[in-house]
Structure 1
Amino acid sequence: MEPVLFYGIPHGCSFGSIVALEWLGQPYRLSRVDMLAKEAGYAHINPTMQTPALMLEDGSVLTESLAILHHIAARDLSRGIGFAQGTRAFDELNAMLSYLHTSVHGAFGMVWNSFKQPEGSPEAAMLRMLGRDSTAQVLANLEAHLADRAWLVGVQATIADAYFAAIVRWAEDLQLFDLPREYPAVDRLLRKLEADPAMVFAHAIEDETPAQSAGGFRGHVTLDTLLPRLAA
Protein backbone atom coordinates (compact mmCIF):
# COMPACT_ATOMS: atom_id res chain seq x y z
CA MET A 1 0.00 0.00 0.00
CA GLU A 2 1.00 3.60 -0.51
CA PRO A 3 2.35 5.69 2.37
CA VAL A 4 -0.40 6.70 4.80
CA LEU A 5 -0.46 10.03 6.60
CA PHE A 6 -2.28 10.17 9.92
CA TYR A 7 -3.59 13.71 10.23
CA GLY A 8 -5.22 15.34 13.23
CA ILE A 9 -8.41 17.31 13.51
CA PRO A 10 -9.41 19.92 14.39
CA HIS A 11 -6.86 22.11 12.58
CA GLY A 12 -3.76 20.07 13.34
CA CYS A 13 -0.30 21.05 12.16
CA SER A 14 -0.48 17.86 10.07
CA PHE A 15 -2.31 20.05 7.54
CA GLY A 16 1.14 21.01 6.27
CA SER A 17 2.03 17.40 5.52
CA ILE A 18 -1.17 16.94 3.51
CA VAL A 19 -0.21 19.97 1.43
CA ALA A 20 3.32 18.64 0.94
CA LEU A 21 2.00 15.27 -0.24
CA GLU A 22 -0.23 17.05 -2.74
CA TRP A 23 2.72 19.04 -4.04
CA LEU A 24 4.79 15.85 -4.28
CA GLY A 25 2.22 14.28 -6.59
CA GLN A 26 2.95 10.65 -5.70
CA PRO A 27 0.28 8.16 -4.52
CA TYR A 28 -0.65 8.35 -0.84
CA ARG A 29 -3.55 7.71 1.51
CA LEU A 30 -4.86 9.49 4.60
CA SER A 31 -6.13 8.32 7.97
CA ARG A 32 -8.17 10.73 10.08
CA VAL A 33 -7.40 11.09 13.80
CA ASP A 34 -9.76 12.98 16.12
CA MET A 35 -7.31 14.50 18.58
CA LEU A 36 -10.07 15.31 21.05
CA ALA A 37 -11.34 11.72 21.16
CA LYS A 38 -7.87 10.31 21.94
CA GLU A 39 -8.57 6.97 20.25
CA ALA A 40 -6.60 4.37 22.20
CA GLY A 41 -5.52 2.41 19.13
CA TYR A 42 -3.59 5.36 17.80
CA ALA A 43 -1.01 4.85 20.55
CA HIS A 44 0.23 1.85 18.54
CA ILE A 45 1.03 4.25 15.70
CA ASN A 46 2.52 7.02 17.84
CA PRO A 47 2.83 6.51 21.62
CA THR A 48 2.87 10.29 22.14
CA MET A 49 -0.63 10.45 20.60
CA GLN A 50 0.48 13.36 18.41
CA THR A 51 -0.10 13.90 14.71
CA PRO A 52 1.14 13.74 12.06
CA ALA A 53 2.55 10.27 11.66
CA LEU A 54 3.52 8.71 8.35
CA MET A 55 3.28 4.95 7.82
CA LEU A 56 5.73 3.96 5.11
CA GLU A 57 5.44 1.17 2.58
CA ASP A 58 7.29 -1.29 4.82
CA GLY A 59 4.98 -0.66 7.80
CA SER A 60 7.44 1.48 9.73
CA VAL A 61 6.20 4.79 11.12
CA LEU A 62 7.83 8.20 10.97
CA THR A 63 6.70 10.88 13.43
CA GLU A 64 7.19 14.64 13.91
CA SER A 65 6.36 17.18 11.22
CA LEU A 66 9.98 18.21 10.74
CA ALA A 67 11.07 14.67 9.87
CA ILE A 68 7.96 13.87 7.85
CA LEU A 69 8.16 17.00 5.71
CA HIS A 70 11.82 16.43 4.88
CA HIS A 71 11.01 12.80 4.03
CA ILE A 72 8.21 13.85 1.68
CA ALA A 73 10.37 16.44 -0.07
CA ALA A 74 13.25 13.98 -0.50
CA ARG A 75 11.04 11.53 -2.40
CA ASP A 76 11.38 13.73 -5.48
CA LEU A 77 13.72 16.69 -5.22
CA SER A 78 12.84 17.71 -8.77
CA ARG A 79 9.53 19.03 -7.41
CA GLY A 80 11.45 21.82 -5.70
CA ILE A 81 9.64 21.63 -2.36
CA GLY A 82 12.87 20.57 -0.62
CA PHE A 83 16.58 20.38 -1.29
CA ALA A 84 19.42 17.88 -1.21
CA GLN A 85 21.01 17.44 2.19
CA GLY A 86 24.46 18.98 2.35
CA THR A 87 23.55 22.01 0.24
CA ARG A 88 23.22 25.59 1.43
CA ALA A 89 19.59 25.58 0.32
CA PHE A 90 18.86 22.56 2.52
CA ASP A 91 20.49 24.24 5.51
CA GLU A 92 18.38 27.37 5.06
CA LEU A 93 15.23 25.30 4.67
CA ASN A 94 16.08 23.19 7.70
CA ALA A 95 16.74 26.29 9.80
CA MET A 96 13.40 27.86 8.85
CA LEU A 97 11.47 24.64 9.31
CA SER A 98 13.12 24.11 12.70
CA TYR A 99 12.14 27.63 13.77
CA LEU A 100 8.54 27.01 12.77
CA HIS A 101 8.50 23.59 14.42
CA THR A 102 9.92 24.81 17.75
CA SER A 103 9.57 28.54 18.38
CA VAL A 104 6.42 29.30 16.40
CA HIS A 105 4.53 26.10 17.22
CA GLY A 106 5.60 26.38 20.86
CA ALA A 107 4.36 29.96 21.17
CA PHE A 108 0.92 29.01 19.90
CA GLY A 109 1.03 25.91 22.07
CA MET A 110 0.93 27.99 25.24
CA VAL A 111 -2.32 29.57 24.12
CA TRP A 112 -3.81 26.20 23.19
CA ASN A 113 -2.80 24.87 26.61
CA SER A 114 -4.76 27.65 28.29
CA PHE A 115 -7.93 25.83 27.23
CA LYS A 116 -6.87 22.85 29.35
CA GLN A 117 -7.22 25.01 32.48
CA PRO A 118 -10.53 25.82 34.20
CA GLU A 119 -12.36 28.53 32.29
CA GLY A 120 -11.70 31.94 33.79
CA SER A 121 -8.92 30.66 36.03
CA PRO A 122 -5.73 32.68 36.69
CA GLU A 123 -3.74 29.83 35.13
CA ALA A 124 -5.70 30.07 31.88
CA ALA A 125 -5.29 33.85 31.75
CA MET A 126 -1.56 33.60 32.42
CA LEU A 127 -0.98 31.00 29.70
CA ARG A 128 -2.94 33.03 27.16
CA MET A 129 -1.03 36.20 28.04
CA LEU A 130 2.37 34.52 27.86
CA GLY A 131 1.41 32.70 24.69
CA ARG A 132 0.18 35.87 23.03
CA ASP A 133 3.38 37.71 23.90
CA SER A 134 5.53 34.87 22.57
CA THR A 135 3.43 34.55 19.43
CA ALA A 136 3.69 38.29 18.79
CA GLN A 137 7.48 37.99 18.89
CA VAL A 138 7.75 35.03 16.51
CA LEU A 139 5.30 36.63 14.08
CA ALA A 140 7.34 39.84 14.19
CA ASN A 141 10.42 37.80 13.30
CA LEU A 142 8.60 36.19 10.37
CA GLU A 143 7.30 39.60 9.29
CA ALA A 144 10.84 40.95 9.12
CA HIS A 145 12.05 37.84 7.29
CA LEU A 146 9.32 38.20 4.66
CA ALA A 147 9.87 41.91 4.07
CA ASP A 148 11.77 41.30 0.83
CA ARG A 149 10.84 37.68 0.10
CA ALA A 150 7.96 36.08 -1.78
CA TRP A 151 8.46 32.74 0.02
CA LEU A 152 10.07 31.66 3.26
CA VAL A 153 13.02 29.98 1.52
CA GLY A 154 14.08 30.03 -2.12
CA VAL A 155 12.11 31.06 -5.18
CA GLN A 156 9.00 28.88 -4.84
CA ALA A 157 6.80 27.35 -2.17
CA THR A 158 8.54 24.65 -0.12
CA ILE A 159 7.69 22.38 2.77
CA ALA A 160 8.44 25.34 5.06
CA ASP A 161 5.60 27.31 3.50
CA ALA A 162 3.26 24.33 3.84
CA TYR A 163 4.01 24.09 7.56
CA PHE A 164 3.81 27.88 7.95
CA ALA A 165 0.24 27.83 6.62
CA ALA A 166 -0.68 24.99 8.97
CA ILE A 167 0.32 26.81 12.15
CA VAL A 168 0.06 30.53 11.40
CA ARG A 169 -3.67 30.09 10.73
CA TRP A 170 -3.96 29.51 14.48
CA ALA A 171 -3.57 33.27 14.99
CA GLU A 172 -7.05 33.61 13.51
CA ASP A 173 -8.45 30.49 15.19
CA LEU A 174 -7.39 31.88 18.57
CA GLN A 175 -8.36 35.48 17.72
CA LEU A 176 -4.96 36.73 18.82
CA PHE A 177 -4.15 39.29 16.14
CA ASP A 178 -5.44 41.22 13.16
CA LEU A 179 -2.91 39.75 10.73
CA PRO A 180 -3.56 42.11 7.77
CA ARG A 181 -3.01 45.15 9.98
CA GLU A 182 -0.34 43.93 12.40
CA TYR A 183 1.65 41.50 10.22
CA PRO A 184 0.89 42.34 6.58
CA ALA A 185 3.76 40.35 5.07
CA VAL A 186 2.81 37.26 7.08
CA ASP A 187 -0.80 37.72 6.03
CA ARG A 188 0.18 38.20 2.38
CA LEU A 189 2.03 34.88 2.28
CA LEU A 190 -0.77 33.10 4.12
CA ARG A 191 -3.40 34.40 1.67
CA LYS A 192 -1.25 33.44 -1.32
CA LEU A 193 -0.86 29.93 0.05
CA GLU A 194 -4.55 29.63 0.87
CA ALA A 195 -5.31 30.06 -2.84
CA ASP A 196 -3.07 27.13 -3.80
CA PRO A 197 -5.07 24.06 -4.95
CA ALA A 198 -3.19 21.86 -2.48
CA MET A 199 -4.27 24.11 0.39
CA VAL A 200 -7.86 24.16 -0.85
CA PHE A 201 -7.76 20.36 -0.97
CA ALA A 202 -6.30 20.07 2.55
CA HIS A 203 -9.00 22.34 3.97
CA ALA A 204 -11.68 20.24 2.29
CA ILE A 205 -10.16 17.08 3.76
CA GLU A 206 -10.21 18.58 7.26
CA ASP A 207 -13.77 19.87 6.82
CA GLU A 208 -15.02 16.62 5.24
CA THR A 209 -16.32 18.42 2.18
CA PRO A 210 -15.84 17.31 -1.45
CA ALA A 211 -12.13 17.45 -2.22
CA GLN A 212 -10.39 17.40 -5.59
CA SER A 213 -6.81 16.20 -5.42
CA ALA A 214 -4.28 17.64 -7.80
CA GLY A 215 -1.77 15.10 -6.56
CA GLY A 216 -1.83 11.41 -5.75
CA PHE A 217 -4.53 11.05 -3.08
CA ARG A 218 -5.92 7.51 -3.15
CA GLY A 219 -8.52 7.80 -0.40
CA HIS A 220 -8.89 7.36 3.33
CA VAL A 221 -8.11 4.21 5.30
CA THR A 222 -9.16 3.41 8.86
CA LEU A 223 -6.84 2.97 11.81
CA ASP A 224 -8.10 -0.57 12.42
CA THR A 225 -7.18 -1.54 8.87
CA LEU A 226 -3.66 -0.21 9.29
CA LEU A 227 -2.68 -1.67 12.67
CA PRO A 228 -1.87 -5.14 11.22
CA ARG A 229 0.58 -3.45 8.80
CA LEU A 230 2.79 -2.09 11.57
CA ALA A 231 6.37 -3.25 11.27
CA ALA A 232 7.56 -5.44 14.12
Structure 2
Amino acid sequence: MTINNLIENVEAEISGDGRRCLTQAIEVGLELRKYQLFTEEFGADDNTTIEAGVQLALAMWKEFRTIEAERLLVKLIATSRRVHGMGHDCTQFAISALQRVKERRVFLKKDDEINVDEVYRVMRYTSDGERCVVQGPVSKVVYDPRSNRSEPSHDGAERTFEAERANVVTSRGTPVVCTGLQKATHLNGKIGDRREFDEDTGRYTIHFEDETLKPVMVKPENIRIVFDL
Protein backbone atom coordinates (compact mmCIF):
# COMPACT_ATOMS: atom_id res chain seq x y z
CA MET A 1 0.00 0.00 0.00
CA THR A 2 2.78 2.40 0.90
CA ILE A 3 4.78 1.55 -2.23
CA ASN A 4 1.74 1.99 -4.47
CA ASN A 5 1.05 5.38 -2.91
CA LEU A 6 4.64 6.52 -3.49
CA ILE A 7 4.58 5.29 -7.09
CA GLU A 8 1.36 7.19 -7.79
CA ASN A 9 2.85 10.37 -6.30
CA VAL A 10 6.02 10.10 -8.39
CA GLU A 11 4.01 9.42 -11.55
CA ALA A 12 1.84 12.46 -10.82
CA GLU A 13 4.91 14.67 -10.41
CA ILE A 14 6.43 13.42 -13.65
CA SER A 15 3.23 13.92 -15.60
CA GLY A 16 2.47 17.26 -13.96
CA ASP A 17 -1.01 16.04 -13.06
CA GLY A 18 -2.43 18.79 -10.82
CA ARG A 19 -5.31 16.56 -9.84
CA ARG A 20 -2.93 14.57 -7.66
CA CYS A 21 -2.17 17.51 -5.39
CA LEU A 22 -4.14 15.98 -2.48
CA THR A 23 -1.12 13.96 -1.38
CA GLN A 24 -1.76 14.53 2.32
CA ALA A 25 -5.38 13.39 2.05
CA ILE A 26 -4.15 10.25 0.31
CA GLU A 27 -1.66 9.67 3.12
CA VAL A 28 -4.42 9.99 5.72
CA GLY A 29 -6.47 7.39 3.86
CA LEU A 30 -3.48 5.08 3.71
CA GLU A 31 -2.67 5.45 7.41
CA LEU A 32 -6.32 4.95 8.32
CA ARG A 33 -6.47 1.70 6.39
CA LYS A 34 -3.25 0.48 8.04
CA TYR A 35 -4.61 1.37 11.48
CA GLN A 36 -7.84 -0.49 10.76
CA LEU A 37 -5.95 -3.53 9.47
CA PHE A 38 -3.68 -3.64 12.54
CA THR A 39 -6.66 -3.24 14.86
CA GLU A 40 -8.40 -6.20 13.22
CA GLU A 41 -5.22 -8.32 13.15
CA PHE A 42 -3.56 -7.53 16.48
CA GLY A 43 -6.20 -5.75 18.56
CA ALA A 44 -6.44 -2.15 19.73
CA ASP A 45 -4.05 -2.68 22.68
CA ASP A 46 -1.11 -3.99 20.64
CA ASN A 47 1.86 -1.64 20.45
CA THR A 48 1.99 -2.02 16.65
CA THR A 49 -1.62 -0.86 16.41
CA ILE A 50 -0.99 2.07 18.76
CA GLU A 51 2.04 3.18 16.76
CA ALA A 52 -0.02 2.96 13.57
CA GLY A 53 -2.63 5.11 15.29
CA VAL A 54 0.02 7.71 16.13
CA GLN A 55 1.09 7.80 12.48
CA LEU A 56 -2.55 8.28 11.49
CA ALA A 57 -2.91 11.16 13.95
CA LEU A 58 0.20 12.86 12.60
CA ALA A 59 -1.10 12.49 9.03
CA MET A 60 -4.39 14.08 10.11
CA TRP A 61 -2.49 16.91 11.77
CA LYS A 62 -0.53 17.59 8.60
CA GLU A 63 -3.85 17.79 6.76
CA PHE A 64 -4.94 20.46 9.30
CA ARG A 65 -7.36 18.10 11.09
CA THR A 66 -5.83 18.95 14.45
CA ILE A 67 -8.85 18.28 16.63
CA GLU A 68 -9.27 14.74 15.29
CA ALA A 69 -5.54 14.14 15.68
CA GLU A 70 -5.47 15.36 19.26
CA ARG A 71 -8.53 13.36 20.28
CA LEU A 72 -7.03 10.19 18.80
CA LEU A 73 -3.66 10.71 20.49
CA VAL A 74 -5.25 11.23 23.90
CA LYS A 75 -7.11 7.94 23.43
CA LEU A 76 -3.96 6.11 22.29
CA ILE A 77 -1.91 7.43 25.20
CA ALA A 78 -4.52 6.28 27.72
CA THR A 79 -4.53 2.81 26.15
CA SER A 80 -0.76 2.56 25.97
CA ARG A 81 -0.27 3.71 29.57
CA ARG A 82 -2.81 1.19 30.80
CA VAL A 83 -1.42 -1.75 28.82
CA HIS A 84 2.29 -1.04 28.38
CA GLY A 85 3.12 1.49 31.09
CA MET A 86 4.27 5.09 31.13
CA GLY A 87 7.89 4.32 30.29
CA HIS A 88 7.23 2.14 27.25
CA ASP A 89 8.57 3.43 23.94
CA CYS A 90 5.09 3.20 22.45
CA THR A 91 3.64 5.45 25.16
CA GLN A 92 6.47 7.95 24.87
CA PHE A 93 6.08 8.03 21.08
CA ALA A 94 2.40 8.92 21.45
CA ILE A 95 3.12 11.54 24.13
CA SER A 96 5.78 13.15 21.95
CA ALA A 97 3.32 13.30 19.04
CA LEU A 98 0.66 14.89 21.26
CA GLN A 99 3.07 17.57 22.45
CA ARG A 100 3.78 18.40 18.82
CA VAL A 101 0.11 18.49 17.85
CA LYS A 102 -0.89 20.62 20.85
CA GLU A 103 1.48 23.43 19.90
CA ARG A 104 -0.57 26.42 18.75
CA ARG A 105 1.57 28.21 16.20
CA VAL A 106 0.87 31.70 14.93
CA PHE A 107 2.31 34.51 12.85
CA LEU A 108 2.55 38.13 13.91
CA LYS A 109 1.22 41.09 11.98
CA LYS A 110 2.92 44.47 11.94
CA ASP A 111 1.60 47.48 10.00
CA ASP A 112 -1.03 45.16 8.45
CA GLU A 113 1.73 42.94 7.02
CA ILE A 114 2.17 39.32 8.11
CA ASN A 115 5.72 38.07 8.53
CA VAL A 116 5.40 34.47 7.30
CA ASP A 117 9.12 33.84 7.77
CA GLU A 118 8.81 33.86 11.57
CA VAL A 119 6.60 31.43 13.45
CA TYR A 120 5.63 31.80 17.11
CA ARG A 121 3.96 29.66 19.75
CA VAL A 122 0.96 31.20 21.43
CA MET A 123 0.71 30.18 25.09
CA ARG A 124 -2.44 31.82 26.48
CA TYR A 125 -4.69 34.88 26.44
CA THR A 126 -4.39 37.78 28.86
CA SER A 127 -6.30 41.03 29.48
CA ASP A 128 -9.69 39.36 29.05
CA GLY A 129 -8.63 37.89 25.72
CA GLU A 130 -7.38 41.14 24.20
CA ARG A 131 -3.71 40.14 24.34
CA CYS A 132 -1.76 36.92 23.84
CA VAL A 133 1.42 35.58 25.40
CA VAL A 134 3.61 34.38 22.55
CA GLN A 135 7.00 32.71 22.43
CA GLY A 136 9.51 32.69 19.63
CA PRO A 137 10.40 32.97 16.90
CA VAL A 138 10.53 29.18 16.76
CA SER A 139 13.86 27.85 15.56
CA LYS A 140 13.77 26.35 12.11
CA VAL A 141 14.77 22.72 11.63
CA VAL A 142 17.65 22.28 9.20
CA TYR A 143 19.36 19.19 7.87
CA ASP A 144 23.02 18.69 8.77
CA PRO A 145 24.66 16.33 6.22
CA ARG A 146 27.66 15.83 8.50
CA SER A 147 25.60 14.20 11.23
CA ASN A 148 22.82 12.99 8.91
CA ARG A 149 20.30 14.52 11.32
CA SER A 150 17.83 17.37 11.34
CA GLU A 151 18.49 19.84 14.12
CA PRO A 152 16.93 23.18 15.14
CA SER A 153 18.86 26.17 13.90
CA HIS A 154 19.77 28.68 16.58
CA ASP A 155 19.63 31.88 14.58
CA GLY A 156 18.29 33.78 17.57
CA ALA A 157 17.14 33.09 21.09
CA GLU A 158 13.41 32.67 21.63
CA ARG A 159 11.71 35.21 23.85
CA THR A 160 8.34 35.39 25.58
CA PHE A 161 6.25 38.53 25.31
CA GLU A 162 2.69 39.81 24.93
CA ALA A 163 1.09 40.86 21.64
CA GLU A 164 -2.25 42.40 20.75
CA ARG A 165 -4.73 39.69 19.79
CA ALA A 166 -5.54 41.58 16.60
CA ASN A 167 -1.90 41.16 15.53
CA VAL A 168 -1.80 37.41 16.18
CA VAL A 169 -2.62 35.39 13.07
CA THR A 170 -3.53 31.74 13.55
CA SER A 171 -1.98 29.09 11.33
CA ARG A 172 -4.02 26.56 9.35
CA GLY A 173 -5.32 23.70 11.45
CA THR A 174 -5.44 25.67 14.70
CA PRO A 175 -8.37 24.58 16.92
CA VAL A 176 -10.63 27.57 17.54
CA VAL A 177 -13.99 28.35 19.11
CA CYS A 178 -16.52 30.75 17.63
CA THR A 179 -17.60 33.66 19.77
CA GLY A 180 -19.53 36.89 19.39
CA LEU A 181 -21.38 35.86 16.23
CA GLN A 182 -24.52 37.96 15.79
CA LYS A 183 -26.28 36.25 12.89
CA ALA A 184 -25.20 32.64 13.40
CA THR A 185 -25.54 32.65 17.18
CA HIS A 186 -26.02 28.86 17.22
CA LEU A 187 -22.33 28.53 16.29
CA ASN A 188 -21.07 30.43 19.33
CA GLY A 189 -19.18 28.00 21.54
CA LYS A 190 -18.67 25.49 18.72
CA ILE A 191 -15.10 24.39 18.09
CA GLY A 192 -13.44 23.55 14.82
CA ASP A 193 -10.21 23.68 12.84
CA ARG A 194 -9.22 26.95 11.23
CA ARG A 195 -8.61 26.14 7.56
CA GLU A 196 -8.46 28.42 4.49
CA PHE A 197 -8.21 32.21 4.48
CA ASP A 198 -10.15 34.27 1.95
CA GLU A 199 -8.20 37.42 1.15
CA ASP A 200 -11.22 39.08 -0.48
CA THR A 201 -13.44 38.83 2.59
CA GLY A 202 -10.73 38.63 5.26
CA ARG A 203 -12.42 35.58 6.78
CA TYR A 204 -11.32 32.10 7.82
CA THR A 205 -13.11 28.90 6.90
CA ILE A 206 -13.91 26.90 10.04
CA HIS A 207 -14.51 23.15 9.80
CA PHE A 208 -16.42 22.15 12.92
CA GLU A 209 -15.81 19.08 15.04
CA ASP A 210 -19.57 18.53 14.96
CA GLU A 211 -19.89 17.08 11.47
CA THR A 212 -23.58 18.00 11.31
CA LEU A 213 -22.46 21.64 11.02
CA LYS A 214 -21.36 22.89 7.63
CA PRO A 215 -18.08 24.82 7.31
CA VAL A 216 -18.56 28.58 7.60
CA MET A 217 -16.47 31.67 6.97
CA VAL A 218 -15.77 33.69 10.12
CA LYS A 219 -13.97 36.96 10.81
CA PRO A 220 -10.72 36.66 12.82
CA GLU A 221 -12.22 38.69 15.69
CA ASN A 222 -14.96 36.06 16.09
CA ILE A 223 -12.65 33.15 16.89
CA ARG A 224 -10.50 32.29 19.90
CA ILE A 225 -7.73 29.72 19.99
CA VAL A 226 -8.57 26.55 21.95
CA PHE A 227 -5.54 25.47 23.99
CA ASP A 228 -7.05 22.39 25.66
CA LEU A 229 -9.73 20.29 24.01
TM value normalised by structure 1: 0.29
| Structure with greater strand percent | 2
Higher relative contact order by CA 8 Å / sep ≥ 6: 1 or 2? 1
Q: Which has the higher helix share?
A: 1
**TM-score if structure 2 supplies the norm length?**
0.29
